[in-house]
């Protein structure tokens, strides 16, 4: 027994696709007798014809991957597109180095550990890339006489 017409009418009335129309197998006789839209509407009201629930896309796998990435996994060579310089540009690296160094020099000057002349000389050294980080600045100032 084919319910092709009934499915098409029900899909139209329920505003869903034909695949989402559920026909009650117990009411097969009543469904086969329904040939007009009003007949099918009656079956919908009685519950013999219903729309199936919407299938969602599970977020389980996506959440699992996000947790792994938060741990630092899944970032190996095969996942990288773009050069090292494209992923973390030289300029950005320089900025993240020089700002703390300059901040440290200002703190040392304000604390009176170095004077203005020393500050200026160290500032220019920092600009030239003499200090890798603030620890290097402190170590240098400790031994600095100039």
Per-residue DSSP letter, 47: T
Enter the CATH code of domain 85-143.
1.10.1200.60
Enter the CATH code of domain 1-75.
1.10.1650.10
Percentage of residues in the chain having pLDDT higher than 70:
99
| pLDDT digits 0-9 by tens, 87-146 | 999 999 999 999 999 999 999 999 999 999 999 999 999 999 999 999 999 999 999 876
Per-domain boundaries in the chain: 1-75, 85-143
């Amino acid at each position: 027994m084919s319910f092709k017409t009934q499915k098409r009418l029900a899909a139209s009335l329920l505003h869903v696709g034909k695949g989402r129309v559920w026909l009650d197998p117990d009411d097969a006789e009543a469904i086969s007798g329904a040939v007009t839209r009003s007949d099918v509407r009656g079956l919908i009201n009685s519950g013999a014809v219903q729309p199936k629930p919407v299938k969602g896309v599970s977020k389980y796998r996506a959440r699992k991957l996000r947790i792994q990435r938060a741990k630092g996994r899944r970032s190996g060579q095969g996942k990288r597109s773009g050069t090292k310089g494209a992923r973390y540009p030289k300029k950005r690296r320089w900025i993240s180095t020089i700002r703390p160094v300059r901040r440290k020099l200002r703190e040392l000057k304000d604390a009176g550990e170095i004077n203005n002349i020393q500050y200026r000389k160290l500032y220019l050294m920092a600009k030239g890339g003499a200090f890798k980080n603030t620890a290097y600045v402190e170590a240098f100032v400790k031994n600095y006489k100039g």
